[in-house]
A = this chain, B = another copy of it.
Amino acid sequence: MEKTMMKGNEAIGEAALRAGCRYYFGYPITPQNELLEHMANNLPKHDGVFLQSESELAGASMLYGVAATGKRVMTSSSSPGISLMQETISYLASAELPALIVNITRGGPGLGRITPAQSDYFQAVKGGGHGDYNLIVFAPASVQEMMDLTMLAFELGDKYRTPTMILGDGIIGQMMESVTLAEPVEIKQKKPWTVGRRKDRDYRNLVISAPFTNEEMVELNVRLQEKYREIEANEQRVECYRMDDAEFAIVAFGIVSRLSLAAVDSMRNKGYRVGLIRPITLWPFPEKAFASYPQVKGYLTVEMNEGQMVEDVRLAVNGAVPVHFYGRGGGFTPAPKQIEEKVAGIMEGGDLA
């Protein structure tokens, strides 16, 4: 398998191509333009469709159209552009269409700045759009994972007929890192529900997000929730680092987990029994992992936002031990040293139980 260097944004694009995605719609926005441009440069070579849409709104609906045909399709944007897609994302979930949406988050709220941020966690996992639905949300922490989780996102999207999201940030999108290219896959899923030529079937396919009766609408919700429970049971992904004997743990995702790894290593060298829990799937949130470490006396959730994932950590821990938070939105990146100080402060303050 080939090893090379690539930007995180490009790795997503390259993975999409290798996952058989031949349709990309999107609208420029920093800091994810490399992904848009990777698709612009490469899709034509694969007889694929790259279409710059007139807006994120239109792009999302183009994506919806392709998704209805069952072909692998994606779009990407950054925070304000993702906000514009919320209606359509809700439609995708309702119509049970697989499609990949990439959010290379920037510092908000509002127009904000293109500095890195993780402030769209809630939007991604609690449903920024209306209605009860979920996306499978992945939080890569390396360029390799930008690639691997993109492949997985297409796979699981098809498996569960559900839209998926890669939630990254400007750092992970813009950085280059050594990466092993994924093997191109052949798409296995049969999709009897797709629209298109009606030759070998004696039924019509309808891709709709509003059934005919109120009862069917409730049933749709029941069906969606059953699917979500299944995904929660099967697809929680997490990395636990030096957790086995940890008496305190940092919880962090994406780039912050890398900074936290540095903090953990450094503190371990100083004798602190610290570990790291890194959610790889943000939804389903890997809550099961927390039960595996009953010896942990406290958690510090570190995020590049004002405290979002920390709520899911608290829900997972359910009051068993204190869960602290360190972070800031709008473009702040916590240095390993700062994380270390925070952890040390808590551990030494005896504020663990």
Contacts and interface: CB of A to CB of B under 8 A. Distances in A.
A291 interface: no
Contacts of A32: none
A86 interface: yes
A234 interface: no
Interface residues of A, number: 64
Given A110-B93, A218-B332, A319-B318, A128 B119 contact: no
Nearest to A320: B319
A109 B122 contact: no
A281 interface: no
A127 B95 CA distance: 24
A113 B210 contact: yes
Interface string A120-141: 1011001111111100000000
B132 A127 contact: no
A353 interface: no
Nearest to A122: B126
A91 to B, nearest CB: 4
B130 A330 contact: no
B123 A127 contact: yes
A108 B86 contact: no
Contact of A308 (B108, B132, B214, B218): B132
Which residue, A113, A132, A224, A318, has most C-beta atoms of chain B within 10 A?
A132
A272 to B, nearest CB: 26
Contact of A111 (B210, B219, B308): B210
A79 interface: yes
Which residue, A79, A126, A209, A305, has most C-beta atoms of chain B within 10 A?
A126
B80 A130 contact: yes
Nearest to A79: B130
Nearest to A327: B132
A90 B94 contact: no
A209 B111 contact: yes
Contacts of A224: 109
Contact of A330 (B90, B221, B315, B329): B221
B113 A131 contact: no
A320 B105 CA distance: 36
A311 interface: yes
A311 B311 contact: yes
Nearest to A212: B113
A131 B111 CA distance: 10
A110 B95 contact: yes
A161 to B, nearest CB: 14
A38 B241 CA distance: 59
Q: Which 4 A-B pairs have the closest CB atoms?
A: A108-B131, A319-B319, A110-B209, A94-B110
